[in-house]
Amino acid sequence: MGDRSLIEWTEATWNPTTGCDRVSHGCDNCYALSLAKRLKAMGQARYQRDGDPRTSGPGFGVTLHEDLLNLPQRWRKPRLVFVNSMSDLFHAQVPLDFVVRVFETMEKTPQHTYQILTKRARRLRRIAHKLPWPENVWVGTSVESSDVADRIDDLRRIPARTRFLSCEPLLGPIPSLDLDGISWVIVGGESGRNHRPVDPYWVKEIRDRCVGANVPFFFKQWGGRTPKAQGRMLDGRTWDEMPERSGSLNLVNA
């Protein structure tokens, strides 16, 4: 965690919680789970709690880091901040009062723009009314295939100005993708030793739907043994579109 990130669609990471559990096929080759195992072996203090071996792993037990709650307040330069790159803020083991405190920090630092990504859109929907929703908070859900597209319906009911989808790793087509109320879509292939291939047709189908709906589209990578193995060119160009960092509330009533 820190004020720099190699992730193409963000600038910094902030991990007030670490650790998670696998909930769908998109988690099968989780980079954070593998990284936590290495960090534990290196003696990193924040990665010493083990998770359930059936769904998690060494160093990847859900852990709250009270001392990091106010970290963004020490960053004077405005940043695009990915919240919990090593966890899921809406995991059931993260208490509501801690989630509220994370949101309060984001509310106190309007100079930054925060990106929260979750696979637990159902819990998020259920507690959203108890959270402040400043305009600098973007919230998204992971949609790796049509099997989990119901997460989008939950996301649509969140009163965030900017809602986004991360279709990474894209593991199958999403032919009925509904972009109503969605402000941004990220797509990427899987990387790592056991990466699963992505079909270019799946990527182009989502790209074309975004273009038709005037929704910013960001293509992160084709994937492979390493994230950069096959580059990130799509039809002869890179796609780095992103939402504006400020604007009016775009709430879809549900």
Q: What is the pLDDT of residue 5?
A: 83
- CA 191 vs. chain centroid, Å, equals 16
Place of tokens 């919240």: 83
Amino acid in position 238? T
pLDDT of residue 2: 62
Q: What angle do CA 64, 140, 243 make, to 5 degrees?
A: 125
User: Which residue matches tokens 């009925």?
Assistant: 176
* pLDDT, tens digit (0-9, with 9 covering 90-100), for 96-134: 999 999 999 999 999 999 999 999 999 999 999 999 999
Q: Cis omega (within 30 of 0) on the bond before 132?
A: no
Tokens 């669609």 sit on residue: 9
d(Cα 205, Cα 254) in Å, to the nearest integer? 27
The 10s digit of each residue's pLDDT in 197-243 is 999 999 999 999 999 999 999 999 999 999 889 999 999 999 999 99
Average pLDDT, whole number, for the chain?
Answer: 94
User: Helices in 109-175 by DSSP H: which ranges?
Assistant: 121-127, 150-156
Euclidean distance between CA atoms 35 and 144, whole angstroms? 21
More confident: 248 or 177:
177
Contact 178, 152 (CB under 8 A): yes
pLDDT, position 162:
98
Query: How far is 26 from 141, CA to CA, in rounded Å?
Result: 12
Cα distances (angstroms) measured from residue 148 to each of 132, 152, 155 = 27, 8, 12
Structure tokens at 132: 């402040």
Nearest alpha-carbon partner for 153 in 167, 138, 163, 144? 163
pLDDT tens, residue by residue, 9-58: 999 999 999 999 999 999 999 999 999 999 999 999 999 999 999 999 99
Distance between start and end Cα atoms, the chain: 35
H helices within the chain, ranges in order? 31-41, 96-108, 121-127, 150-156, 200-213
Instruction: At 100, list the tokens.
Output: 């509220």
pLDDT band at 186 (very low <50, low <70, confident <90, very high): very high
Are 130 and 100 within 8 A, CB to CB?
A: yes
Q: Rounded CA gap, 78 and 3, in Å?
A: 10
Position 4 pLDDT exceeds 90: no
Q: What is the pLDDT of residues 144-164, one digit of tens each?
A: 999 999 999 999 999 999 999
Which residues share a beta bridge with 165?
141, 185
Both tokens of residue 158? 């969140």
Q: Say what the pLDDT of residue 251 is.
A: 36
The rounded distance, in Å, linking the Cα atoms of 188 and 166 is 8
